[in-house]
Structure 1
Amino acid sequence: MPQPRRYPSRHKRRDSYGERLKKHKSSLSPSLLNVAEYIDGHRHAVLGKSALEIARDTGTSDATVIRAIQMLGFDGLLDLKETLEAYLGHTDSPSEKMASTVDVLVEGADSAIDFVLADQANAMAALSSPESRKNLAEAARLAATARRIGFFGIGASGIIAEYAARLFLRSGYLSYTLNRTGISLAEQLLELQEGDVLLMMLHGRPHREAMATIYEAERLQVPIVMVVGKADTVLLKHAAAQIVLPRAKSEHVALHAPALSCVEALMLALTTKDQQRTLSSIDRLIDIRQQIRPSKR
């Protein structure tokens, strides 16, 4: 019988960037060291940034950014990104995270229930904090005054985005989904227009789809409500409102029920602002359903 594949722990994997930084740190000027340490602390974010954007974040110039990268032994920004992505791609492996999760489920179903409850309790505690309550209220305010509401999510979050759009639409708020990957997302982004508000569910690194959506939203001056898994992500600098739903342990598989709870809480908060709008929409929905499927006599 084949043995299950085992995955090395993170600390045993070679960190090429960390090694180079340690080797050249003493020879870097303060400005170059500032850039190098920023990259070290924001590895995921750097994958989606240009030299100019890194320069803005570090208060330096793009020339200084490139110089710092070259001083660490990289040919340029592309070489750096390939090195980081090679390391981070393994770090974020779904297979590795599932293996890590299964390792702690030693008591079968009981362990699985405890794992889910602990993760949900951790996220719900964050959602119920005064800061999250304030931000949820701000998100509801933004949505109430918007022309339409867009919901962004990729993968499992894309399924929640689609559910959210349907949920808000039936509650009387024009909504749409942005959940495709690759260039197919470009067609969906044509839906985004000035006067909308955008809710983005982001749990991992700032991938290209996320950054393209953020750039388009900012171009159109569309406020972004971000639901994220950690408070120290640079993505939050783009947010008009933010809701942090941390996982109990980031090395384990991501569970998506907290994001679903957040969406439903936002929907209910929104209905309190215009109850008649929601009731009228639901009444209209019932009328249309009866035309499609008449009641039996």
Structure 2
Amino acid sequence: MKDTKTTFQERYLEAGPRLTPSEKKIGEYLLRNPDEVLGASAVKIAEATGTSDASVIRTIKGLGYQGLPDLKKEFLESVLRRRNSAAALDHNIESIQTNKRPAEQMLANSVDIIDAFREGFDHEAFARCVAAVSNARRTYTYGLGAGSMVSGFLALHLKRVGFDAEAMMLAGYRLADDLLPLTANDCIVLIAPFHQTTEVEVIVDHAKDVGASVVLVTEALGMSLQNRVDIIIKTPPSISNVVSEHLAPFVFSYVLTMQLASLQKDASLKRNNLFNDLSSRFTGSPDFPSPVFLSDIDDDDSDN
């Protein structure tokens, strides 16, 4: 019987050296697509991996599960935990408390997430995303909660390399103001790892109404929104690791920005040089406060 304290990822990684090529293919699919697995049969998983349903069941049992329903139960628990921030925090704290070197664990988990993102990266979807943003009149970005930091990061860096971009930072009915300017020539990059909130629903529906393209960067909403968005960038499962679900979206945002900048190198450098020039007017240099500025602060402090 499966040890409930051992996750699928841990079991798969431990078994790696003794798995056959087909078992590794099945294991990788299960690891990267827990949400899809919840609604899939062994036959569907076999079709997705180019194997047989017998191989799927054999692989799952070989990893210590009683069968596909047993594995789905674990995946369902992890999905529910991801969508409950308190439960996710409790899971992470417990994992840290039982580790003698928690920082090393968290750094290793971060590397694992990036490796999984690289290995499962959908280059065709990425190329379509690059084209959508490149051809857009304006790119709007949106993320709720901590996702707003990723959204702001992406919009900021798109501006700095010469693309018209704006981060929508409001929520609830106030989001309506941000959506008013949206046109058929625009693109929305939606950062939504887990939660299919009202804001996500309204953005997707309104974009469809006006004809704007939508890029969804998500860990768990691919299946539920696949017929309502234009492009899906799937990020790897983060719940079995002590790592933020926003790590992969941050990396994706930087990769997207650099790819877009490479398409118009001269224009991007010109815009960035303009940014540096404007920054220096405030600070005396593009990166650091000038000595005069620092001395002004010291003088002000001495007067108090």
- TM bin, normalised by shorter chain, reads 0.5 to 0.7
What SS class does the counterpart of residue 86 from structure 2 fall into? helix
| Counterparts in 2 of 1:106 and 1:289: CA distance versus 1, 3 Å | closer
The two structures have a TM-score, normalised by structure 1, of 0.63
Residue of structure 1 equivalent to 2:143: 153
1:11-38 deviation per Cα after TM superposition (whole angstroms, max 9, x unaligned): xxxxxxxxxxxxxxxxxxxxxxxxxxxx
Q: Are the aligned partners of 1:97 and 1:251 in contact in 2 as well (CA < 8 Å)?
A: no
Alpha carbons of 1:108 and 1:263: their partners in 2 closer, same or farther (altered >3 Å)?
A: same
Point out the more displaced range, 99-108 or 214-223: 99-108
1:276 matched to 2:266? The reply is: yes
Pick aligned residue for 1:172 from 162, 165, 169: 162
Q: Which residue of 1 aligns with 2:47?
A: none
What letter corresponds to residue 234 of structure 2 in structure 1?
V
Please give the per-residue CA displacement for 1:72-112, whole angstroms capped at 9, x wherever unaligned: xxxxxxxxxxxxxxxx9888321111112212223557234
Shift of 1:253: 6.8
Change (3 A) 1:92 1:287: closer
Equivalent runs, 1:71-220 vs 2, <5 Å:
92-108=83-99, 110-129=101-120, 132-220=122-210
Aligned equivalents of 2:127, 2:108: Cα separation in 1: 26
Task: Give the Å deviation of 1:209.
Answer: 0.3
Deviations 1:196-232 (A, max 9, x none): 1111111123110000001111111111111110375
Q: Distance in 2 between matches of 1:226 and 1:286?
A: 32
Using the alignment, how far apart are the partners of 1:107 and 1:91 within structure 2? 20
Contact 1:124 1:245 in 2 (8 A): no
Contact 1:127 1:244 in 2 (8 A): no
User: How far has the Cα of 1:172 moved from its partner?
Assistant: 0.5
Q: Secondary structure at the match of 1:247?
A: coil
Q: What fraction of aligned residue pairs are identical, expressed as a percent? A: 17
Closer/same/farther in 2, CA of residues 107 and 180 from structure 1, 3 Å limit: same
Gaps of 5+ in 1: 1-8, 10-39, 42-87
Matched position secondary structure for 2:227: helix
**TM-score, normalized by length of structure 2?**
0.62
Name the residue aligned to 1:221.
211
Residue type matched to 1:168 in 2?
A: L
Question: Unpaired runs of 5+ in structure 2?
Answer: 6-37, 40-78, 293-304
Counterparts of 1:36-75 in structure 2, within 5 Å, are none
Count of residue correspondences = 213
